[in-house]
Chain A
Amino acid sequence: MELSDSELVKKSQAGETSAFQELVSRYHQKVFMVILGLLRNREDALEVAQETFFRAFRKINSFQGGSSFYTWIYRIAVNMSIDAQRRQKRNPLDFRESMDDVMAAQNEVAKDPFADVHDKELREKLNRAINDLTPDHKAVIVLRTIEGLSYKDIGEILGCSEGTVMSRLHYARKKLQDKLRAFL
């Protein structure tokens, strides 16, 4: 029978690395998606995602169970992504090139329903538009879009109220729609 997240956390706190490995297995892709959505660079996102789980491992005993494991791990992931963004020294052109590589890889490995030129341009414009958002606005849009998390959960992850989440989402979506209207 599959163990719940809280049972796996308890086992991890007791020193069972296999339990922690199971948690990583469940959440590594989701965490990676959130970080990639924020950093827009695959290699950096991989690095930060691994570092996120490493930090979670070191802090696992401080997880009291007041929130769910996934909001806790996402909180670590977002904070580490923000730290990484501050450290990033790349210029905007490098960002676009990185995500171009991402999209080229995507076309090779996944059946892409938007594989025509128009949608390729849309994705390029989307990358730029997202990069123009502040870290706070990027975070809400990524968390909502990828995971469909509630405003309450997003607020818990980002340390803000539901009202703030709502207004940031509204602002971010409006900005993206304004920039991408011709392509949507």
Chain B
Amino acid sequence: MNNCETIRDSIGSWLDGELSPSASESVRLHLAACSDCSMARQQLEKLQLVLKDQLVAQAATIDFMPFWRGVQQRINQKRAWHEDLFEWSRGFLTAPRIAWAVPALIVLLLALFSLDSYLPGRGGRDSFASVESIDAHGRSVALLREDQTKTTVIWLYQDQEGENETAEEAAKSGPTF
């Protein structure tokens, strides 16, 4: 890149007053000596002037009181609740936030599912033991579920012949649920 190209790339920043003092001085000296770059500077200045003039001229036609009445009308107008909600969501739910929220929500859901599986005794149907099959060989048997402690109980009642223990007491006092 030759010196003129470098200088022309810097003319805008120089006009804006954003160059360092030493860089600014280099540009100034070059422009004083180079007619092509000086022409480029004039073109840029004219461009900015035309643009600014257009807009300044238009702004000068805006009367304050009618403008303020327009603003006041909006302030005094009662807005529906959903308009406020919509406005809030447009400001809050920006694209980057949504882009982060979606994977964060997925990770959170995964964590909750995993927690549910790994924490012992957490509520729900799955914390009960389930009896798949039972053969009490002719005896009476009861299958019970105690909700408070999530306990499955298989209760064997004494048969008529009794067992070799003192069955009487035990039979009288079977569990009551």
Q: Do A and B touch, yes or no (CB under 8 Å, in the complex)?
A: yes
Which residues of A are in contact with B by a Cβ distance under 8 Å? Answer: 17, 21, 24-25, 28-30, 32-33, 36-37, 42, 46, 49-51, 53-55, 57, 83, 102-103, 105-106, 109-110, 112-114, 119, 122-123, 126, 130, 141-142, 144-146, 148, 150-151, 166, 169-170, 173, 176-177, 180-181, 184
Report whether over half of chain A's contact residues are helix, strand or loop; otherwise say mixed.
Answer: helix
Q: A24-B71, A50-B70, A130-B51 are in contact. Are A33 and B56 (CB under 8 A)?
A: yes
A106 and B53 CA atoms in complex are apart in Å by 9
Q: A30-B59, A33-B56 are in contact. Are A114 and B50 (CB under 8 A)?
A: yes
User: What size tier do the contact residues of chain B reach?
Assistant: 20 to 34
CB nearest neighbor in A for B40:
A177
* Contact between B58 and A42, CB atoms less than 8 A apart: yes
A184 and B43 CA atoms in complex are apart in Å by 5
A-B contact list, 13 entries, CB within 8 Å: A32-B58, A50-B67, A50-B74, A51-B74, A83-B90, A110-B57, A122-B50, A141-B51, A142-B51, A151-B18, A177-B44, A177-B47, A184-B43
Which of B8-16, B101-109, B158-166 is the contact stretch? B8-16
* Contact between B47 and A36, CB atoms less than 8 A apart: no
A134 and B62 CA atoms in complex are apart in Å by 27
Chain B residues within 8 Å of A33, by CB: 55-56, 58-59
In the complex, chain B residues 69-87 whose Cβ is within 8 Å of any chain A Cβ: 70-71, 74-75, 87
Within the complex, which residue of A51, A106, A141, A180 is in contact with B54, where a contact is CB–CB below 8 Å?
A106
CB nearest neighbor in A for B46:
A184
Asked whether any CB of chain A lies closer than 8 Å to the CB of B92, the reply is: no
Report whether over half of chain B's contact residues are helix, strand or loop; otherwise say mixed.
Answer: helix
* Contact between B12 and A169, CB atoms less than 8 A apart: yes
Chain A residues within 8 Å of B56, by CB: 33, 146
Q: Which of A25, A28, A42, A114 has the most CB of B within 10 A?
A: A28
CB nearest neighbor in A for B73:
A50
